[in-house]
Amino acid sequence: MKKDLVSMSDLTKEEIIEIVNLGIDMKNNRDKYCSSFKNKILAMIFAKSSTRTRLSFETAMLTSGGNAIFLNTNDIQLGRGEGISDTAKVLSRYIDAIMIRTYKHKDVQELALHSDVPVINALTDDEHPCQILADLMTIYEHKKSFDLKIAYFGDGNNVAASLAIAADILGIECAIASPNNYMVDEFIRNKTKSVIYTDDVEKAAKNASVVYTDTWISMGEEDQYEKKLKYFADYQVNKKLTSLCKDDYIFLHCLPAYRGKEVTEDIIDGQHSVIFDEAENRMHAQKALLYKLLLI
């Protein structure tokens, strides 16, 4: 039976751990998997541009013997008014999996509903599950455990939502600190009762082993720049904040980062930062996800 990754909640605890462990094995034993995706083709639909998403998915396919086809929505009929259901049915006749990075979460849900091949959410306004799989892999690489506390600071956006869902599934202690009017969507908060949602940054930071933030201004929100800076000034990750964390904490950021805004340069470029391991792990975690969806 076809399986999709539209939401982080589509995965069980066992499946998340399986993908994390497989991603680490694929990273450490690359030759072992160099022909895993032979004759497999991934269609990559982009309504939102990206550096890491395109490179990580395309490289994951090519280094495993498969192929990837880039489809900008402006260059295909979907961008000219063709229905999502028709697009899904046509693509299913040509390729083995579909990755989509877009705005509306419901568009990915509809694509998955009508597709005969696996559909992967590579980002919507609601969730970013592929990023969180890479984050979890990075945490496990450095900490060898999920028995720890993650503290997230800033906008309760798609990354925060998928992080909350994953933490709830895995039983990870997680605190998400955001201004009251920028917290994770109420629907997600109600689903993730084990996660702490707070506007108190000190409460969130205390004894954290993982410190995480994201840009305050997501793509398409440029007109909210000045307004958001006012609300988020107290949520910056800096030395004062991290002094409340574990001495051996690691710092995560899904990138792109704006140094001096959501995080100071001494933190993001300091000894606790593992952001480039995290960025690299997008490729390995997604390769493991593709392996599970295509081959297991």
- Annotated catalytic residue 214: yes
Whether 128 is a known active-site residue: answer yes
Name the catalytic one among 4, 52, 101, 168: 101
Catalytically annotated residue among 52, 96, 126, 128: 128
Q: Which residues, including other chains, have CB under 8 Å from residue 156's CB and lie 6 or more apart?
A: 176, 178, 182, 183, 184, 185, 197
Helix/strand/coil for 178:
coil
Residue 211 CB contacts under 8 Å (≥ 6 apart), including other chains: 151, 153, 205, 237, 241, 242, 245, 249, 250, 251, 252, 272
* From 131, 168, 236, 253, the catalytic residue: 131
Question: Dihedral of the CA atoms 127, 136, 28, 246 (nearest 10)?
Answer: 140
CB 232 within 8 A of CB 207: no
DSSP 3-state assignment of 185? coil
Q: 254, 272, 284, 286: which is the annotated catalytic residue? A: 254
Does 284 participate in catalysis according to the annotation? no
Active site residue 30: no
Round the CA-based radius of gyration of the chain to a whole number and report it. Answer: 19
Given 52, 253, 272, 282, which residue is catalytic? 282
Q: Indicate if the alpha-carbon torsion angle 88, 93, 98, 102 is positive or negative.
A: negative
String of b and e for 207-239 (b: at least 16 CB within 10 Å)?
ebbbbbbbbbbbeeeeeeeeebeebbeebbbee
Of the residues 96, 126, 168, 214, only one is catalytic, namely 214
Tokens 């798609």 -> residue: 158
Give Cβ neighbours of residue 276 (< 8 Å, ≥ 6 apart).
none
Residue positions annotated with a catalytic role: 101, 128, 131, 214, 254, 282
